Amino acid sequence: MGSPPSKSPGTRPDGQPFAVVRSEDEWREALAPDEYAVLRLSGTEAPFTGEYTDTTTEGVYACRACDAELFRSTTKFDSHCGWPSFYAPLAQDRVLYLEDASMGSIRTEVRCAACGSHLGHVFEGEGYGTPTDLRYCINSVALRLEH
């Protein structure tokens, strides 16, 4: 399914510590099994099944693992891809970008910068007409909508 965020679970790819650090046992205890599978093991929920796929409620989407604010509802758009889509994070320092070659092609993985949890992937140049020409394809189970 994947691996934890880095060789040392408490550090970012640049070697700096995450703001939120827990052991894998603590993550397993804090998260439901489906949340743990996505957030900590880089899994993916099935398309069109997530809680926020079609949500239009205003608010801020936070990391379900650590509550860091990640995306605003004003940047969410309907991409018809089966997962919530955003065209930009709340701020660039809220997410980390990692190369992901796990599916036979190179993709850009998106992780929470505060705790290192897997959120989804970002794609560019798909022609959605968003201000950034980016689609942050994020698992609903990785998010919590705060009104």
> What's the predicted TM-score (pTM) here?
0.90
- Token pair 């379900």 is at which residue? 64
Is 119 in contact with 70 (CB distance < 8 Å)? Answer: yes
Instruction: Indicate the domain borders of the chain.
Output: 24-146
pLDDT at res. 140: 98
Residue 59, both tokens: 């608010």
Q: Which residues pair with 108 in a beta bridge?
A: 99, 122
Is 98 in contact with 109 (CB distance < 8 Å)? Answer: yes
Residues assigned a catalytic role: 137
Tens of each residue's pLDDT in the chain, 147 residues: 344 444 445 778 888 889 999 999 999 999 999 999 999 999 999 999 999 999 999 999 999 999 999 999 999 999 999 999 999 999 999 999 998 888 778 899 999 999 999 999 999 999 999 999 999 999 999 999 998
24-146: CATH number:
2.170.150.20
pLDDT at res. 9: 58
Q: Which residues pair with 120 in a beta bridge?
A: 110, 138
Collapsing DSSP states into helix, strand and coil, what is residue 38?
Answer: helix
